[in-house]
């Protein structure tokens, strides 16, 4: 476990860590590599990231009879990076599958969530990037009955009004 034998594990409040660490299914995505030049390249990167998230939870797919025929087909499409897959709804679906499989709420972690938006803005395709992300990622995070909690980390430094200070 990540915090075992550390100060946070042993000090007051460490009981929370001991009780909850490693107890929930996690979807982790990092946008660290989302600095592509064009919208098409960035969209391909999003598809790769979603595919990797699904591949990490392939055990759900492999459990006989767990997924419906429709869900298995969608899982196949995503793992195969098929253009007909529903990538915009994929993370929401994956969180549902994980919740059903583990009977626990899912934790979603997104690293450098603002990097693709910032890069898209600089390169003139922010409308496309924000349109995709607002459905694909925000939909999985906001009003998702299957997620327990989420955390997103930013690369931009903002002042208290939200104005970007440095990239």
CB atoms within 10 A of CB 143: 9
**Lowest-confidence region among 20-34, 103-117, 146-160:** 146-160
Q: What is the pLDDT of residues 45-59, one digit of tens each?
A: 999 999 999 999 999
pLDDT attached to residue 19: 75
**Integer Cα distance of 165 and 167 in angstroms:** 7
Distance CA 74, CA 100 (A): 17
Q: Is residue 151's pLDDT more than 60?
A: no
* Distance, CA of 89 to CA of 161 (rounded, Å): 32
- pLDDT of 25 > 70? The answer is yes
Name the residue with higher pLDDT: 75 or 155. 75
Quickly state the pLDDT bin for 145 (edges 50, 70, 90).
Answer: low
Report the pLDDT value the prediction gives residue 167, as an integer from 0 to 100: 45
Answer whether residue 15 shows pLDDT above 80.
no
Q: Which residues are bridge partners to 147 per DSSP?
A: 106
Secondary structure of residue 145 in the 3-state scheme: coil
pTM for this model (two decimals)? 0.79
Phi, psi of 150 (to 5 degrees): -145, 155
**pLDDT attached to residue 96:** 92
Q: Which one has a higher pLDDT value, 17 or 165?
A: 17
**In angstroms, rounded to a whole number, what is the distance separating the alpha carbons of residues 90 and 161?**
33
Check pLDDT > 70 for residue 139.
Answer: no
DSSP character string of 64-119? TTTS-HHHHHHHHHHHTT-TTS--TTHHHHHHHHHHHHHTS-EEEEEESTTHHHHH
pLDDT of residue 148: 59
């Amino acid at each position: 476990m990540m915090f075992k034998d550390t100060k946070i594990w042993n000090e007051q409040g460490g009981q929370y860590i001991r009780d909850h660490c490693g107890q929930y299914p996690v979807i982790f995505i990092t946008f660290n590599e989302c600095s592509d030049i064009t919208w098409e390249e960035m969209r391909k990167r999003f598809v790769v990231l979603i595919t990797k998230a699904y591949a990490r939870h392939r055990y759900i797919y492999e459990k006989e009879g767990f997924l419906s025929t429709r869900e298995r087909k969608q899982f196949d499409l995503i793992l195969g990076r098929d253009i007909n897959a529903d990538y915009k709804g994929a993370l929401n679906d994956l969180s549902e599958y994980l919740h059903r499989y583990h009977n626990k709420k899912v934790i979603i972690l997104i690293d450098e969530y603002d990097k693709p938006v910032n890069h898209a803005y600089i390169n003139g395709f922010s409308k496309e990037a924000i349109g995709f992300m607002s459905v694909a990622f925000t939909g999985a995070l906001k009003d998702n009955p299957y997620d327990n909690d989420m955390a997103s980390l930013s690369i931009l430094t903002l002042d208290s009004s939200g104005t970007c200070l440095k990239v």
